[in-house]
Amino acid sequence: MPEIILVAIGAIIFILIVIRIIRKSYQFPAPAYVGRLLDSDFRRFFQPPEKVIERSGIKAGMTVLELGCGSGAYTTHMARAIGEQGKLYSVDVQPAMLRQLERKLSKAENKGFKNIELKEASAYELPFADGSIDLACMVTVLMEIPDQGRALREVKRVLRPDGILAVTEFFPDPDYPFRATVIKIGEREGFVFDESQGSFWNYTVRFKKQLSGKRKD
């Protein structure tokens, strides 16, 4: 029995290594057919919504951009956190993912949410006015975007002067980057590193659009 477990663990590690190697050469969003896995209690057990929300700095009354919402693993949790006075824009480039999220929101237990608006859009061309968003969050999304710099510049455009960018990463994700890599990418695009919370396995890096009282564009 122990031999079987070791073989299974070895196979999983090998598969993850192969996937990571492939993903280094080809960056693309998680395909829609894994939507159920992404929006599962299994995932939320290891990457709890309350931790993502707390570390990101999402608070009541905020206008929040959930970039790369996928099938909605954290959408309703974020909507609940910002409350009726807040607004959540859940954005994804894949129509199939948004359809899964629409089906989720149409269920009886989710019909009470009036503060969620779904948007099909590329991270390179966000359908929001300059300075209209309080906080933008990306949960295991940043490294799936081929041109991360272009996407972050667009996020920076739509954030308010005191806006926040929160990037959350999770080790099992095939595109998982080291914390230092995320900080480097953010600072390279002019964001100001604010704080990082969590462990090696599951962390959130938070940036500010600019230093308090100073313009940094």
On the CB side of 43, how many CA atoms lie within 13 Å of its CA?
20
What pLDDT, on a 0 to 100 scale, did the predictor assign at position 121?
A: 97
Structure confidence at residue 210 (pLDDT): 81
How far apart CA 98 and CA 120 sit, in angstroms, is 7
Work out the burial of residue 106: count CB atoms within 10 Å of its CB; fewer than 13 is exposed, 13-18 middle, 19 or more buried.
exposed
**If you average pLDDT over residues 31-47, what whole number do you get?**
76
In the predicted model, what is the mean pLDDT of residues 81-95?
Answer: 97
CATH code for residues 2-208: 3.40.50.150
pLDDT (0 to 100) of residue 4:
64
**For 126-185, how does the pLDDT look when each residue is reduced to its tens digit (9 = 90+)?**
999 999 999 999 999 999 999 999 999 999 999 999 999 999 999 988 889 999 999 999
Q: What are the residue ranges spanned by the domains of the chain?
A: 2-208
CB atoms within 10 A of CB 120: 13
